[in-house]
Structures are given as structure tokens and as C-alpha cells.
């Protein structure tokens, strides 16, 4: 590590002097063992760079951050199992069989997510909370250890592919609003863009899921007849706190909406995530249900897909704010 950092600086300097430093960034792929959480408090929010290399890592990540370079990390859940005979095996996979690690209200059911967020917290404590992170390597071996077999590899990749293919609309956005938009497919399993899987430059859309069922084509929007909007801000905040308004962020797909559009988007997201329960489109009389597609200017107002689970208990606006939080968070 002591020779790696000087080499990194020299490479970035050479790129800058060549006039390409603004487009090409030097970085160092690192394994996940450069950071950890103490045994006394093994949760992601307690994460930090290892004590024996702490000052070096802080200097390195600050240098990379100042040059716009990402942090590239290799995360192998298999190694957590391989290096610790007491490690709960189900926690190494993504199929929900693992324990639920609670960290201040954030739950983790797999070590990949917990490890990733441990890095996020380490970067935050190093003074670079907005540093981009790229997972450079991830996988599961098929031989060479009792847990390195075809069955476990299939289980890992099946879960991992499900994770990366579809957006997760309730994922923690602590690292940034982008956290809910990693997927190759939208929430209703439509491909976002064409891809070349042949290696021959043949861009094609992946096949979308068949048999997806939607709730009725109706949306919850700001009532155009309401003139008194003093309660709009608090109700918008309430709707976003219990749904996904990340598309409204700066530079995002719905960033061009006006005040009324922002409110309609927030109200509709809450309404759809409550399976279109009519009580979820009230907001102290500010909202109304419409059958006219509310999507506009490239901003999609989604319609919820049919869920196998029943609708959650909902509150009918900020008048039941506390009850709403309790009911929804407990379900």
C-alpha cells in the first residue's frame, strides 16, 4: 500500500499532463478487507477503514475523490464464509434466508449489502460521503472448498442477478438517490435500454417479463380546484417519506416538473405503493384520483403492479401522520 499510493499519484499526474485527466481517472481496485466494523458493534454504520492503514486509506480516497475517480471494491460473500467457520451460511446469499441484521432501523438480510454499506460509512467518515463506488469483482467459486460447489454458485448467482436486474424502490438512499435505480429492468420488468450480449455490437432489448398484471389505470394528483396550498409542503414530504421520490432529484428524470407536478408525482407514488387504496389519495383534501395519464415531459407516473400480498394499512393524510408511519412500517 505504501508504494501503491505514490504510483497512483504519478499515474494521475501523467494523465493530467497528457491532457486526458479530465476524462480518464486513475484508481486502485481494493478488496473489502481494507475496511471493517469492530467486533463489539458489527454493523455497517460502525464501519471505518482498518486501523493499521487508516491514515493511508483516508489520504488515498481523498486524492481519488479530488480527481473525480471512483472507489473500486471487490466484494466476495464467499470469503466471509470461507474465513469464518461460524459465519451464518444463509447470510452469504440473496434469497432472504439469512438473519436480519438491524442497524439503526436499516435491515440487512445478506452480507453483500451490509459490506457495501460498511464501505459507504467508511468513506463518509473519511470526509468523502459523495464518492462514487464501483463493485469491480463479485462472484462465487465452483470448486476448491466445501462451500465452493455448483449448487451454492447457482444459488448465489440466481439471487445476485435478481438483485441487479430490477430496481429496488425501497432500498436505503443513504449513499444517494441513485441507489434505487441500479437495475437493468424497471419495477415492472421492462428493459431500460438495449444491450449487446453477443460481443458483436448487436444491441437488442432484453426480453421483458410476460404476464405482468397492473392495477387499474388511475393516478393520484394534486387537485386543480384547490386554491389553498399552505399544507402542500408537509403533505409532499409525508408522501415522499413513505414512497420513492428519487426521480424528482436534481438532474433526475422528473426534475423538470413544476411545484404542482412535484406534488402530483409524490402523491401518486404514495398512492400506487399503497395499492391504490382510495384512502391514500386524500392529503387533507389536496389530492384527487384521475383516469387521465399524469405522465409528462419524459417523467413516468407509474401504475402499480398487482402484488401477491394484500394492501397495507394506510393513513388518510397528515392528520394521521404518526398512525400512518406506525402502520406502514410494521407491515
Q: What is the pLDDT along the chain (331 residues), one digit of tens a residue?
A: 678 999 999 999 999 999 999 999 999 999 999 999 999 999 999 999 999 999 999 999 999 999 999 999 999 999 999 889 899 999 999 987 767 888 988 889 999 999 999 999 999 999 999 999 999 889 898 888 889 888 899 999 888 888 877 777 777 776 677 778 877 788 888 888 887 777 777 888 888 888 999 999 999 999 999 999 999 999 999 999 999 999 998 888 999 999 999 999 999 999 999 999 999 999 999 999 999 999 998 899 999 999 755 444 444 444 333 222 222 222 2
- Could you tell me the three cell numbers for 235? 403533505
Task: Determine the structural domain holding residue 229 and report its residue range.
Answer: 219-330
CATH code, domain carrying 283: 1.20.58
Same domain, 18 and 138: yes
Own/partner long-range contacts of 24-28 (Cβ < 8 Å, ≥24 apart): 25/64, 25/67, 25/68, 25/69, 25/70, 26/64, 26/67, 26/69, 27/64, 27/69, 27/70, 27/71, 27/72, 28/4, 28/60, 28/64, 28/72
Residues 6+ away with beta carbon under 8 Å from 295: 301
In a domain, 142, yes or no: yes
Count of the separate structural domains present in the chain:
2
All cell numbers assigned to 264: 402530483
Ranges assigned E (strand) in 175-317: 219-222, 287-290
CATH number of 96's domain: 3.20.20.80
Q: Are residues 11 and 149 in the same domain?
A: yes
Domain identity same for 121 and 253: no
Same-domain check for residues 9 and 121:
yes
Among 128, 146, 165, the domain boundary falls at: 165
Distance in angstroms (rounded) separating the CA atoms of residues 237 and 331: 21
The per-residue pLDDT for range 272-321, each reduced to its tens digit, is: 999 999 999 999 999 999 999 999 988 999 999 997 554 444 444 443 33
The verdict on 143 and 278 lying in the same domain is no
Does 266 fall in a domain? yes
| Angle, alpha carbons 113-117-121 (nearest 5°) | 170
Q: How many whole angstroms separate alpha carbon 197 and alpha carbon 154? A: 20
3-state secondary structure 53-68: HHHHHHHHHHHHHHCC
Amino acid at each position: 500500500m505504501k508504494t501503491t499510493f505514490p504510483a497512483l499519484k504519478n499515474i494521475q499526474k501523467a494523465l493530467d499532463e497528457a491532457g486526458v485527466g479530465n476524462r480518464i481517472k486513475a484508481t486502485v481496485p481494493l478488496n473489502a478487507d481494507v475496511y471493517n466494523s469492530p467486533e463489539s458493534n458489527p454493523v455497517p454504520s460502525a464501519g471505518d477503514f482498518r486501523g493499521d492503514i487508516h491514515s493511508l486509506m483516508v489520504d488515498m480516497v481523498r486524492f481519488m475523490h479530488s480527481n473525480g475517480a471512483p472507489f473500486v471494491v471487490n466484494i466476495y460473500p464467499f470469503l466471509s464464509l470461507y474465513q469464518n467457520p461460524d459465519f451464518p451460511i444463509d447470510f452469504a446469499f440473496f434469497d432472504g434466508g439469512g438473519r436480519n441484521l438491524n442497524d439503526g432501523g436499516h435491515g440487512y438480510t445478506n452480507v453483500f449489502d451490509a459490506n457495501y454499506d460498511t464501505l459507504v460509512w467508511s468513506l463518509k467518515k473519511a470526509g468523502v460521503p459523495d464518492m462514487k463506488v464501483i463493485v469491480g469483482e463479485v462472484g462465487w467459486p465452483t470448486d476448491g472448498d466445501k462451500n465452493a460447489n455448483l449448487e451454492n454458485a447457482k444459488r448465489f448467482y440466481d439471487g445476485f442477478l435478481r438483485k441487479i436486474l430490477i430496481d429496488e424502490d425501497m432500498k436505503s438512499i443513504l449513499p444517494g438517490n441513485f441507489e434505487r435505480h441500479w437495475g437493468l429492468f424497471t419495477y415492472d420488468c421492462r428493459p431500460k435500454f438495449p444491450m449487446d450480449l453477443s460481443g458483436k455490437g448487436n444491441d437488442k432489448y432484453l426480453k421483458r417479463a410476460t404476464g405482468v398484471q397492473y392495477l387499474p389505470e388511475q393516478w393520484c394528483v394534486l387537485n386543480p380546484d384547490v386554491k389553498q396550498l399552505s399544507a402542500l409542503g408537509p403533505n409532499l414530504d409525508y408522501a415522499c417519506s413513505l414512497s420513492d421520490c428519487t426521480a424528482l432529484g436534481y438532474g433526475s428524470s422528473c426534475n423538470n416538473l413544476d411545484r404542482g407536478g412535484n406534488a402530483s408525482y409524490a402523491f401518486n407514488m404514495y398512492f400506487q405503493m399503497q395499492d391504490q387504496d382510495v384512502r391514500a389519495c386524500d392529503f387533507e383534501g389536496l389530492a384527487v384520483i384521475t383516469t387521465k395519464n399524469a405522465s409528462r415531459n419524459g417523467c413516468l407516473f407509474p401504475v402499480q403492479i398487482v402484488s401477491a400480498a394484500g394492501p397495507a394499512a394506510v393513513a388518510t393524510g397528515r392528520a394521521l401522520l404518526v398512525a400512518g408511519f406506525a402502520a406502514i412500517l410494521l407491515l
